Each structure stands twice: as C-alpha cells, then as structure tokens.
Amino acid sequence: MSAQHPEITNVKLVIIDDNASSLEMLSTALARAGLRIYTAEDPEQGLETVFREHPQIVLTDLVMPGLSGLDVLERIVEFDPAIDVILMTAHYTSETAVEAIRKGASDYLNKPVSLALLRERIGKLIEEAQLRQKVTGVDRETVENASFEGMVGRSPAMWEMFSRIRRVAPHFRTVLLTGQTGTGKDLAARALHNLSPVSNGRFVVLNCSAVVETLFESELFGHVKGSFTGAAQDKMGLFEYADRGTIFLDEIGDMPLGTQAKLLRTLQNQEVLRVGSLTARKVDVHVVAATHRDLRAAIAEKRFREDLFYRLSMVEVHVPALSERKEDIPLLTKFFLDRFAAQFRKEIRGLTQRAQVAIARHSWPGNVRELENVLGHGAMMAMADTIDLQDLPDYLRSPHKNAEGVEAIPHPDEDTFAEHEKRLIMDALARANGNQSQAARSLRLGRDALRYKMQKHGLL
C-alpha cells in the first residue's frame, strides 16, 4: 500500500485493485493537485485504509480474490454512505450493474477504462468534495472579512468588481452595470452611490421594465398641471427628486426609444424639461444604469440608441454570474443561513452532506437571487438544525432531462448513471402497484432506504 502527494490532504482517494500494474497506471493517471491517493492490492487492506483515512472517493475493481467489489461497496456504505464509490469491471452484466446501484455505487465503469473519462468523473467528485468541505468549514470564517458594501465574495471575479467600484465611485457621472438577472446589480449600484461624493443625497430607483410606456417621460422628468388627461397638478420627476444624489435606472434596455432620446439630452445638459413645460430645470444627478441585455445587439436591431449607450458606458462594471464565482457559494450559504435563522427564529447550523451535494451540482441560472430563495425555502422547511435534501425545492431533487424534456435512460458508462437507479425504482413500484414496502422487498432495500432514493429522484 502506498500514498502519493502527502502534502495535499484536502481530498482523499483510495484505489483497490488486485492487479499491481493497473494500480500503478490508475494512480499515475489520476495524480493531481488537491488529491491524496492511497492504493491497495488486497481488498481487506483497502477497507482498512478506508476506515483509517476516511476518504471522499473509492475506486475499486469488481472481481478480486477474497472480497468482491460489491462486498467492498457494502462495507463502505455501512461505514459512511456519503463516500463516493466507483466500481470497475471487465465483465459487465446488467445484473451486476443493478446490484451495484442497489448497494449505493456512485458509478460503474467498464474495463478497459477510458482514462480521460475516469479523470473527468473523478474531477467532478473532487470538486464536489472540496465544495462540501468549504461549506462545512466556513463557520470558522467571518463573513464580515469578505463583505463589501453589503456584497459577499472572495473570488477573483468579485475582488475585481469591488476594486473597480472603489476606483470609479469618487469620480463617475454615469456608470453602466452589466450582468445576468439575479447577480446583485442593485447592490453594486448602491455601493457606487455610498462611496460617491453625493452619498448624503438620495438614492432613487426606477425599474424601467415595470413602467408603462406612456408614463415613462412623466415618471422620469415630471409634468405640469393640464399637460395631459389626468395631470391634475404639477408633479416632480425622479431626476429632480434625485437632485444632488444618484438615480439608478434598472433594466435600462427596456426603456422606450423616445424616452431614450430625452434621457440623453438630460445627461448631456444636466437639466430636465417637465412634460408640458417650456422651462428647463437644472439638476445635478449621478446616474447608474443596469441591464442584463446585450445592448450592442439591441443597437444593431435599432432597439437602443447608440449615442445613449456610449454616454452611459463611459465606465462599465461587470457583475459576475454565480457560475463565474462558484467558490463563493459556501460563504454566501453561511451569510444567507445566518440571516434566515434570525428571521425565522430557528437554530440552523448548516446543510447536510446530501443538501451540500445538491447545491454544488446545480448550475444556478438564477444566480445569487436563486441561491437566496433556495436557502430561504430550506430554512423555512427544516425541522432540524440542519437543512436536508428534502427541505430544498423540488427541482433541485429532480432528475436531469435531455433537450426534448425526455428522461434519459443511459448505458452505465454515461454521465447520468443515476437514471439507471431511478428506472429500477420506478419499475419496482409499478410492479408493486405503488406499494413501497413490497417494492423495497423486491429491490432488497429497507423501506427508509427506498424512500430516500425516491426523494433523491423526485418520486415522492
């Protein structure tokens, strides 16, 4: 038995194979920074290593003298079901695949194993294990040390944005914030205001996508009495209201072209003309505009004025998507859970490992706002002091589907190996007419284990 990379201890992998040359090939191929590899030719020795080192990942051959890979799998699942076990075999049969799934295997690969495929699978498991470790250890860190004007992050992308805001805030007249929906552009706008020379003035917000087109001009610039039907008195617009402060024009890509022209004139002359008035009024307003749209494409399609774009984008700040800063997820999780614990008056220590895996595997198209909503849902539903998988929204537990929305039924070598397990459970339930106890007996599972797997696959 040997160990590689003793200086790296954050993720551990145990490889068990009775073929010494296979062990050497696998350990060499999988060696990488962030991974400590242990090898064993004897399955009993391999299990001793697992019990002693408590690895996150085990890679084992199926056919070995003494104990089979299925026996090894069963012993490991009894020790810690959270360990990811991958079985390898040169003698694939559907029966052994079914048995491996029943006993809790993470994956099942045919020999000769594609080293590129194996590196990819192991790489994903390493990333998930590292993220789980960060979530577990983040309690020892202070969120305050990674906070900037209400935003939380320590990733390079966030530090770059924080630095840019610090440099821009004292000097800007107009700034354009770009980024996907849910990334926190409103917080970045507030930070620019707070660090600007007009921080003592008002911070006025207008969501351009929520304003009726016919009222846009009146909303921004105001109107005089009698200027249109319903104008019973003079009204101050938001630009006047934000005088000597900042106005935040959220989703500016939804502003009508006619209003864009008047906004450009206001920015150029620093004055507003109320609807129905002939007298311009001077204003001193800093402007932060934000959009999730591609304004350059909108210009090409004649939906956004090019001159206004260049006026706004003299300084441009990109707010990164959560997919660009996944290393911030543990910190954000801690931040939101602390807040929801106080809000719901609950003691919430964190996430179970199963919930951490679901969080780590999700792509977060809704960005930080989606993460906040997911954790808020979990904190509200949790009955214990930790949020478990069943406390998270249903869609985080649902199986993946293909582009046509049809559930894939993969060969065991495919990435969606869990679909095979789901299909077995569905078939067993169908044969048992929905009787879970009968289905569990046919699968040789305990009823609780069956219910856990049904929850995992969104069958409850």
49 and 24 part of one domain: yes
- Classify residue 423: in a domain, yes or no: no
> Computed over its alpha carbons, how large is the radius of gyration of the chain?
29
Range of the domain at 235: 156-318
pTM confidence score: 0.61
| Domain termination site, one of 106, 139, 172 | 139
Q: Which of 379-389 are b and which e, b meaning 16 or more Cβ less than 10 Å from the residue's Cβ?
A: beebeeebbbb
- Classify residue 378: in a domain, yes or no: no
Residue 181: pLDDT band with limits 50, 70, 90? very high
- Classify residue 355: in a domain, yes or no: no
171 and 303 part of one domain: yes
The residue with greater pLDDT, 132 or 48, is 48
> Among 361, 364, 386, which Cα is nearest to 374's?
364
| Domain termination site, one of 84, 112, 139 | 139
Question: Residue 408 pLDDT > 50, yes or no?
Answer: no
Look at 6-15, 149-158, 276-285 and tell me which has the smallest mean pLDDT: 6-15
CA dist 178 → 102, 254, 363, 444 (Å): 48, 14, 20, 54
State how beta strands 285-291 and 174-178 pair.
Answer: parallel
pLDDT of residue 256: 93
134 and 215 part of one domain: no
Question: Residue 285 pLDDT > 90, yes or no?
Answer: yes
pLDDT for 194-245, tens place per residue? 999 999 999 999 999 888 888 888 899 988 887 777 777 888 899 999 999 9
135 and 171 part of one domain: no
The residue with greater pLDDT, 414 or 379, is 379
131 and 163 part of one domain: no
- Classify residue 426: in a domain, yes or no: no
| Domain termination site, one of 268, 295, 318 | 318
Return the structure tokens found at 364.
Answer: 């977060």
pLDDT of residue 398: 59
d(CA 146, CA 460): 39
- Classify residue 419: in a domain, yes or no: no
130 and 161 part of one domain: no
pLDDT of residue 191: 97
129 and 161 part of one domain: no
131 and 162 part of one domain: no
302 and 186 part of one domain: yes
**Domain of 227: which CATH number?**
3.40.50.300
pLDDT of residue 433: 77
- Classify residue 434: in a domain, yes or no: no
pLDDT of residue 230: 74
Number of domains into which the chain is organized: 2
pLDDT of residue 287: 96
Residue 384: pLDDT band with limits 50, 70, 90? confident
Return the structure tokens found at 423.
Answer: 């299909």
Average of pLDDT values for 92-98? 69
SS3 assignment, position 154? coil
